[in-house]
Amino acid sequence: MMRLPSSWPWAIVFLLLVLPWLALVALGVFWLWQNHYLVTGLVILASFYGAATLLNHWLKHRQIEPFQLPDVQADERWSPAAQDIWGELDKLIEELNPADYPLTDSARLLQLVQQVNRKVARHFRPRAGKAELDIPLRNILFITEQVSRDMRQLLDEKVPFSHLLTIDEGLKLWKWKQRLEKGHFIYRMGRMLLSPTTAIPAELSGFFQGKVAQYPRGLLEQWLLRTLVKKTGYYAIALYSGQLAPPVLAEPEPQPGLAPEMKQPLRILVVGQLKAGKSSLINAMLGELRAAAHVLPLTDELTVYKLKQDDSGVVLIFDSPGYGDESHWFEKEPERALGGFDLVLLVCSATQAGREADAQFLADLRNWFDQRLHRSMPPVLAIVTHIDQLRPLREWQPPYDLQTPQNDKARNIREAQETVAEALRIPVSDCIPVSLQTGTNYNIDAIWAALADKWPESKRAQYLRCLPEGRSKEKLRLIWTQMANLIRI
């Protein structure tokens, strides 16, 4: 005996619902034909469908979507390593299929969050056996807290009635959604039986447009999952890179966020070969030498000067001994000498032909930061000195137009500027020609303008340099608070 398919009761329900409407349509067409309104009715019907088709094309052209990709941007102070893993998370969400992570399956959603956290952890701690566990428990809880808060705010803004629906009501609505999807399948089968001439082309069109491959990727599910991945990844990157720490709850009105602004002054290193004019440059910048009080130099080789600025606070300028092809003072303590500064002024004499020592210094500096992606290399400005000693020797009538040189002096200065840029592999705009003659300094204002232009990069380098020290102080303060509470208990 042949058994009926299990979906036949749904087919009966479908027919009971559809047949009265089909009969009404047939009677309406007959009435229009009987009263000679059939042509008019068809014209009106075609007009409505034409307007709907045009509106549909316009909406697709405008790409109006109710749920777009979440606007979660990487922090501009993140290190290159953090930027790399953020790009990998972008690739992950592009491959995300909502059918693999139903919103009603909490276990699958937890697996997705763990996958993101594991991916970030292994990026920052590749040598750890279980990198995702190489973090304090309170930090994991903090990620959960922040993601939950952000998701709640997004639901309030994007999903209507989300603040009124209970979890039980939401699960019931989701079950009804699945039933409606099943009913839609029955409707498609019924249409194939009743009108195969129109149903078959429609099904083939949907297949070749890729709708079958995309089913059942709903916009809401996709948006929620992508937001979950981006938010989890954002806080995981900030925590595993050390740029974010949970606030101490004992503090009044804690505001979670990135590390507080560092109070240490900006550090500028002045380097160059022997007799390049480093001391003369510092004299010209400071006006008069003012030794910093109670400032410990990074190495015994450095001399520290303090510059007080109204807008930027205190800036420390470190004068270094001249190096050559054989002697390099920074090789004694490269960890502190190369990584302890936020901006570098590389002084190059226009009358010196050899650039190997300068190029070697920059190569060592770049290599040091290439091996430490959690840091950001400080910007480098090349200060081309002794331009007044270029040929013709007796001519010195500044200012000179170096963009369109009009005489031999200007052309020689421009050539020296380009030679330094090529040897050091830096832009010509970062090579600033100056004259440091006593009492007649020239083009010092251009140095201050270049420093102002490099200020954001310098602040980023300072932030990443001071971050470990700031976090260490926070940890010590938290330990002190915990010990005090333990003694109180």
Three-state helix/strand/coil letters over the chain: CCCCCCCHHHHHHHHHHHHHHHHHHHHHHHHHHHCCCHHHHHHHHHHHHHHHHHHHHHHHHHCCCCCCCCCCCCCCCCCHHHHHHHHHHHHHHHCCCHHHCCCCCHHHHHHHHHHHHHHHHHHHCCCCCCHHHCCCHHHHHHHHHHHHHHHHHHHHHHCCCCCCCCHHHHHHHHHHHHHHHHHHHHHHHHHHHHCHHHHHHHHHHHHHCCHHHHCCCCHHHHHHHHHHHHHHHHHHHHHHCCCECCCCCCCCCCCCCECCCCCCCEEEEEEEECCCCHHHHHHHHHCCCCECCCCCCCCCCCEEEEEEECCCEEEEEEECCCECCCCCHHHCCHHHHCCCCCEEEEEEECCCCCCHHHHHHHHHHHHHHHCCCCCCCCCEEEEEECHHHCCCCCCCCCCCCCCCCCCHHHHHHHHHHHHHHHHHCCCHHHEEECECCCCCCECHHHHHHHHHHCHHHHHHHHHHHHHHHHHHHHHHHHHHHHHHHHHHC
Confidence of residue 182 (pLDDT cuts 50, 70, 90): low
Comparison of pLDDT for 213 and 480, the residue scoring more: 480
Read off the pLDDT of residues 64-114 as tens digits, 9 standing for 90 and up: 444 455 567 888 888 889 999 999 998 898 888 888 888 778 888 889 988
Amino acid 4: pLDDT = 47
Read off the pLDDT of residues 164-181 as tens digits, 9 standing for 90 and up: 666 666 666 656 655 555
Confidence of residue 257 (pLDDT cuts 50, 70, 90): very low
Say if residue 399 is preceded by a cis peptide, omega within 30 of 0.
Answer: yes
| Of 4-13, 178-187, 447-456, highest mean pLDDT | 447-456
Rounded to two decimals, the pTM is: 0.63
Mean pLDDT, residues 152-160 taken together = 69
User: 472: Cβ–Cβ under 8 A, 6 or more apart, which residues?
Assistant: none
Rounded distance, CA 417 to CA 436, Å? 16
Confidence of residue 330 (pLDDT cuts 50, 70, 90): confident
Asked whether residue 327 carries a pLDDT value surpassing 80, the answer given is no
Mean pLDDT, residues 197-211 taken together = 49
Amino acid 146: pLDDT = 86
Confidence of residue 207 (pLDDT cuts 50, 70, 90): very low
Picking from 162-166, 243-247, 339-343, which range would have the lowest pLDDT averaged per residue? 162-166
Amino acid 20: pLDDT = 80
What are the tokens at 215?
A: 């089913």
Over pLDDT 70: what percentage of the chain?
Answer: 70
Rounded distance, CA 237 to CA 234, Å? 5
**Nearest to residue 413, comparing CAs of 426, 424, 401?**
401
Amino acid 428: pLDDT = 95
Amino acid 167: pLDDT = 63
Picking from 212-226, 313-327, 329-343, which range would have the lowest pLDDT averaged per residue? 212-226
What are the tokens at 488?
A: 């109180």
Rounded distance, CA 74 to CA 337, Å? 30
Confidence of residue 55 (pLDDT cuts 50, 70, 90): confident
Mean pLDDT, residues 362-373 taken together = 93
User: Exposure of 277 by Cβ count < 10 A (0-12 exposed, 13-18 middle, 19+ buried)?
Assistant: buried
Asked whether residue 300 carries a pLDDT value surpassing 70, the answer given is no
Comparison of pLDDT for 369 and 285, the residue scoring more: 369
Whether 319 and 279 have beta carbons less than 8 Å apart is answered as: yes
The full 3-state SS of 95-143, as one line of letters, equals CCCHHHCCCCCHHHHHHHHHHHHHHHHHHHCCCCCCHHHCCCHHHHHHH
Rounded distance, CA 372 to CA 229, Å? 27
Rounded distance, CA 108 to CA 257, Å? 29
Whether 208 and 202 have beta carbons less than 8 Å apart is answered as: no
Amino acid 85: pLDDT = 92
Comparison of pLDDT for 335 and 300, the residue scoring more: 335
Bridge-partner residues for 315, per DSSP? 266, 307
Rounded distance, CA 146 to CA 128, Å? 25
Over pLDDT 90: what percentage of the chain?
Answer: 27
* Domain 266-468 in CATH 3.40.50.300: yes
Backbone angle region of 169, left / alpha / beta, with phi > 0 → left and psi within -120 to 50 → alpha:
alpha
Asked whether residue 263 carries a pLDDT value surpassing 60, the answer given is yes
Extents of the domains making up the chain: 20-62, 80-240, 266-468
* φ/ψ (deg, to 5) at 222: -65, -45
What does the mean pLDDT of the chain come to? 78
**Nearest to residue 239, comparing CAs of 121, 64, 160?**
121
Read off the pLDDT of residues 432-452 as tens digits, 9 standing for 90 and up: 999 988 677 899 999 999 999
User: 80: Cβ–Cβ under 8 A, 6 or more apart, which residues?
Assistant: 373, 376
Mean pLDDT, residues 344-367 taken together = 93
Mean pLDDT, residues 397-424 taken together = 93
Rounded distance, CA 413 to CA 410, Å? 5
Amino acid 198: pLDDT = 56
Tally Cβ neighbours within 10 Å of residue 173: 10
Rounded distance, CA 51 to CA 307, Å? 71
Amino acid 444: pLDDT = 92
Q: Checking DSSP bridges between strand 303-309 and strand 313-319, what pairing results, if any?
A: antiparallel
Cα atoms in the 13 Å half-sphere on the side-chain side of 482: 7
Mean pLDDT, residues 331-341 taken together = 80
Amino acid 66: pLDDT = 45
Comparison of pLDDT for 328 and 111, the residue scoring more: 111
Rounded distance, CA 342 to CA 136, Å? 30
Amino acid 215: pLDDT = 36
